Amino acid sequence: MTVLHGIDARSGERLDDPVPASSGEQVREACAAAEDAAAALARLPAAARARLLEQVAEALDEAGPGLVALADTETALGSGPLTAELTRATNQLRLLATEVQREDFAAPRWEEGAFARMLSPVGPVAVYAASNFPFALSVAGSDTAAALAAGCPVVVKAHPGHPLTSRRTGEVAGAALRDAGAPDGTFAVLHGMEAGTALIRDPRIRAAAFTGSRAGGRALFDAAAARPDPIPFYGELGSVNPVFVTEAAVRARGEELVQGYLTSLTRYHGQLCTNPGVLLLPSGHGLTEPLRKAVGGAEPAPMLNARILENYRAGLERLSRSAAGLAAVPDGPHLFTTTAAEFRARPELAEECFGPAGLVVEYASRDEALELARDLPGSLTATLHAEEGDPEDETFARELLPVLTRRAGRVVWNGWPTGVAVNRTMHHGGPWPATTGAQFTSIGTESVRRFQVPVVYQGVPERLLPGPLRR
């Protein structure tokens, strides 16, 4: 039997508590159980569905100290950040519990001529957990919460970077769902690469969500499309999150910008999907030495796992072949620099290097900055630091912001992209390669829409309609 071992992220030592990889038969059983549960789960009244989410949140809060300690061992992210992340995950569950009870949750509509329309659960959903958020984007994270809120059973493929945390989180969430009266088969957790491949191909799975690398996500995306019955695949795959800075902003608060950039670049050890990988500064900005000193003086920290560290080193090697080095901490923060012309001539510079690596790109004019913006790959975020009230900056902003809205799903003004709010307005998505569907979000209340499909009832007696359509 193939087993997965948790690894102590600080020492690199194997943890003596193996997690068996799921067999093909276990994948089929989980998917069959999810299909059996789908109709009953979809019929649950809004209050009952909300209670499922609330019960999971309460159970995770109660198990919090043990879960955080386990996750810290496997990820080295630190108990403080992990505690905050777990709180984000439980707050997200509670927010969606409130959302499902809104009168407009299923978007009911009526038309003369006996037409009624609503959004219905799509059916069993496969969730592929992320490595960098063992709580917020993992077993009981945003994708799972959104699918359950929609009324869909969930089969999670756990990330191999934190198998022990995933197993324990699954035990806590599964028990909470059973105690709250969820139908059998509502939730399951699988382990292992082969299980993940089998899961996306199982005919009972009706949609899938993924957060991870471009290579892994693309392979699953292609598999979802190649099925005899293709299904939606909502993948978050990679993002460079450009940050534009104007001359006026540099003059007004250059030191503040350097410190803000360093904090954003190194948050969560640089292992965030919203990490500001490209910093665009005007020529002659004068921040080279402050940036070199700040980044070069940062403390190294363990990466999530050996594979991510290996990929980070490969990314640094790629950057070093095409850009000049400014600062380097061994296996820690790195900063490179290049010109706008070189950046546009070398497409490899616009590829994500997952980790605390930043690239400074110097632009010579406003027109060149705009051209750069048009050429940037799709990202989750794009940021502009400018001086409000400055006529030139406001003119530049009016030209740049419309371009950025076509290159990113979230545009930030005088802030930093790391740190994602969980609310009714958040859009965590963007054009390829940031995601496979820029019109959808994986965080916030609108994330539920990925797992709902419109159904129109024509001439059906009202007494036979689903609850949301009965007036």
Catalytic residues: 236, 273
First-to-last alpha carbon distance for the chain, in angstroms, is 55
Peptide bond into 433 cis (omega under 30): yes
Decide if 165 contacts 134 (C-beta within 8 A).
yes
Question: What's CA 259's distance to the chain center, in Å?
Answer: 25
Question: What's CA 65's distance to the chain center, in Å?
Answer: 24
Q: How far apart are alpha carbons 439 and 431 in whole angstroms?
A: 9
Nearest to 186 by CA among 82, 299, 48, 319: 48
Whose tokens are 């009714």? That residue is 424
Q: How far apart are alpha carbons 72 and 301 in whole angstroms?
A: 13
Measured CA to CA in angstroms, residue 221 lies from 60, 122, 200, 215 at distances of: 31, 18, 9, 10
Whose tokens are 């290579």? That residue is 215
Residue 19 DSSP symbol: E
Measured CA to CA in angstroms, residue 214 lies from 10, 405, 437 at distances of: 26, 22, 14
Tell me the torsion sign for CA atoms 389, 390, 392, 394.
negative
* Cα–Cα–Cα angle for 415, 432, 222, rounded to 5 degrees: 145
Q: What is the DSSP string of 409-436?
A: EEEEESS-S-----SSS-----TTTTBS
Q: Residue 14, Cβ neighbours under 10 Å: how many?
A: 11
Which SS3 state, helix, strand or coil, does residue 29 take? helix
Decide if 233 contacts 210 (C-beta within 8 A).
yes
Whose tokens are 């290097």? That residue is 353
Q: How far apart are alpha carbons 434 and 210 in whole angstroms?
A: 12
